[in-house]
Amino acid sequence: MADIKFEITNHLGVLSQGSKGWQKEVNMVSWNERPPKFDIRDWGPGNERMGKGVTLSKEELQALKQLLQEINLDGL
């Protein structure tokens, strides 16, 4: 399997942290030297290892934001 190149171009925040130091982060990430996209995933200490996650375009993130605003979390 080919190596995946990535660069975190902007760290936007941490959603949670696990007991072993891994953090679920929201970042702007450039994958394989492409333009950066919004990315939510678990990262190991030092951001050298990563877990599975989701990468979103600006339009997808805007749609997610709208959807989250419409959800009644009290009813779940």
Task: Say what the pLDDT of residue 1 is.
Answer: 58
Alpha helices in 1-76 (DSSP H): 58-70
pLDDT digits (tens, 9 = 90+) for 30-76: 999 999 999 999 999 999 899 999 999 999 999 999 999 999 988 88
d(CA 61, CA 1): 29
d(CA 76, CA 38): 27
Q: What proportion of the chain, given as a percentage, has pLDDT over 70?
A: 99
Instruction: Reply yes or no on whether the pLDDT at 10 is more than 90.
Output: yes
Task: Say what the pLDDT of residue 66 is.
Answer: 96
Instruction: Reply yes or no on whether the pLDDT at 29 is more than 90.
Output: yes
The CATH architecture assigned to 6-75 reads Roll (2.30)
List the domain boundaries for the chain. Answer: 6-75
